[in-house]
Structures are given as structure tokens and as C-alpha cells.
Amino acid sequence: METVKTIDIFYFSGTGNAKQIALWFYEFAVKKNIDCKVFNIAKIGAIKPENINPDSLILIVSPTHGFNFPKITLDFINHFPKGKNRIVLMNTRGGLKLGRYVTPGLSGIAFILSSLILKGKGYKILGQIPFDMPSNWISIHPALNENSVKFLHRKNYERIEKHANKIFSGKPDFLAYRDLVQDILISPISLGYYIVGRFVFAKSFYASANCNNCGLCIKECPVKAVKTVNNRPYWTFNCESCMKCMNSCPEKAIETAHGLLIGIWIINSVLLAFLLNNLLKIDIESELIGRIISTLAFFILLWFGYKFQHILLKNRFIARLISFTSLTRFKFWGRYNSIPDSK
């Protein structure tokens, strides 16, 4: 068992959860006089073999999106050069406070898929460790209050010291194995989100009438998915739904288009049934073919609907009406950003 002397930490983070995990491990590494470096995946280019210390322990920290690592993290891992380093994979999952306990999330195929890729490149997987940091997916639920966030931060900080002591001494740490059965069962949702779901959520963000065109969402997007169209922010299908833009907007102008998504779903269901049954007289017996046709029709309608909504948003009165169809416009829904340790 070889004690760790150098560590390279690579992280991707939208609202700061994974970054916080990376910085806490860095803190404990420094306390043990271990040479440690931290890299933001979104801001570094391709990693070349000569830039990797063959003796370094490599930590990769990323959130899970749809029970899988987001595409930017998977692309980073897929393009990582071949090597023989020891690697510890970590993820941040949507944690919630329930009394004095933390509700655990699920990792899905995040660890399974990444481990297979890295093993194929020659690396040794030393650990797979999930962390249940505050859930930040405010398109789905209201933001957690500050007391809950503080509680979850303290719990994870305490856990990190224990895991750091273990992996820094060279011991394996596969805490994720205790959720293996659930993660395998949830894998179809992971694949479905990666193939289909993430593109739907990519078209769920828009800038309301409160937008002052400061350009921060465009500048700070980790995957450059936001661009200017008709003099206002426009989200492309490259969006990872990392929530950085929505949670960082100083005007809280970025909202989720709940009304648009529900409207497209209703139109798609009614229109498709009418076209197939009444006009084309087609009876689709295969459930799989029916789902494929329905999904394609939904995406086409969503693409046109999102573009049409973007044009309507130029009118401030209509923009405010659209805003009332989004839960994220209301104050009680809130926003989330990882809090500093000083709190």
C-alpha cells in the first residue's frame, strides 16, 4: 500500500458543490503536506500525457445530471490520456435535510461508465465516493434554505476528512458499492436522460423581462451553450443544465419555461394522435415505434416553440405574461449557490 505524495484534482461544477468538494480535499491534502493541484475541467484544454505526473493520485469530482456524469465530464474522461495512475471518482448528488439526517441520492451509471473508460486506458480505480451535497436543480424544486445548506455542508465536510485520511494513505474506498443495486436499476433513466432528457432541459431556460443584457450568463457558461439572439440570451442544445446561469444571474432573470414545456407536451399528445388516427389513418401497433415518433415530434415542436417564445419575449408585456407560467419567477422558489466556509 503506497502512501500518496502528489494529488491532481479535476472538477466540473455549476453552482459550486463539486468545486467545494475539490477544495475541501485540497485543504486536507495541504494539512498533510501533500503536493496538490486543483483544475477546473471547464477551463482547461486537452490533457497531454506529459502533463500528468505518473505518481500522482488523480481525483475527478463532478455532479450527476440525470443519474450520470454530464457530457462535459464524460468527454473529459474519454479524452484523458492513457496512464497507470490511481484514480478516485467522486460525484455530488442531490442531498436533502430530513431532521438530523441527509437523504441520499443515486449515482446511476456515473461511476460504472467512467470506471470502464478509465480502466480501458490503463488506470487503477482506487475509489468511488458519492457526496450528498445540497440539491441545486431548482427547475424541479424550490431552493433549500440556508440552514439546510449549512447542515449539508457540515455533514459532508466531516465525511471528507474520513475519506481523505483513507485514500491519502493509499487504501481503496468504494463507498458507492453500497448503492450498486439501486444504481443499476436506475440505469435506464440515466441512458434516457443522456440520449433525450438533457436536450429537453436545455430548452427550458429563458431570460425574462428582468434581463438587463449584462451578458454574465453567456460569459460564465462552462460549456458556452448560451449565445445572443435578437439581443437577448438564447440557450442552445449544448446546455448541460448545470444551473450556473440561473443561480448566478444578478437580476434573477433566468427562469424555467414550465408553461412552454407543459404546453408542448399537451399539443404533441393531441396533435400527434389527431394526425395519425384521423388524417393519416395509421395504427401504430409497436409501442417502441410509437414512442420514437412521439419523441421526435416533441423535439420538433419544442424547437419551434422555443424559437417562437424567444421572439415573443422581445415584447415586455408578453414576456411578463410568460414569466407567470414559470414557478421559478416567484420569490419563495429562490436560487441556490454553494456557501463559503466562513458561514
**What number of other Cβ atoms are within 10 A of residue 255's Cβ?**
27
CA 236 – CA 229 distance, rounded (Å)? 11
Domain boundaries, the chain: 6-190, 196-329
Which residue, chain included where needed, has cell 420538433? 300
Whole-number Å distance between alpha carbons of 94 and 96: 7
1 pLDDT band, cuts 50/70/90, is: low
**Cell representation of residue 203:** 430548452
pLDDT at 282: 58
- Mean pLDDT on 284-311: 84
Residue 339 confidence class, pLDDT cut points 50, 70, 90: confident
Q: How many CB atoms lie within 10 A of CB 82?
A: 11
Tens of pLDDT, residues 101-147: 888 889 999 999 999 999 999 999 999 999 999 998 899 999 999 99
**Per-residue pLDDT tens digits for 230-276:** 999 999 999 999 999 998 899 999 999 999 999 999 998 887 777 66
Q: Which of 44, 36, 45 is nearest to 9 (CA)?
A: 36
Q: What is the pTM of this model?
A: 0.90
What is the per-residue pLDDT for 293? 79
Query: What pLDDT was estimated at residue 30?
Result: 95
CATH of domain 6-190: 3.40.50.360
Residue 337 has pLDDT above 90, yes or no: no
Q: Which of 124, 108, 113, 112 is nearest to 75 (CA)?
A: 113
SS3 call for 160: helix
Instruction: Tell me the three cell numbers of residue 123.
Output: 488506470
| Beta-ladder partners of 96 | 103
Whole-number Å distance between alpha carbons of 147 and 37: 31
CATH T-level topology, domain 196-329: Alpha-Beta Plaits (3.30.70)
Burial class (CB in 10 A: 0-12, 13-18, 19+), 191: middle
DSSP 294-314: HHHHHHHHHHHHHHHHHHHTT
pLDDT by residue (tens digit) across 164-206?
Answer: 999 999 999 999 999 999 999 999 999 889 988 899 999 999 9
pLDDT at 58: 97
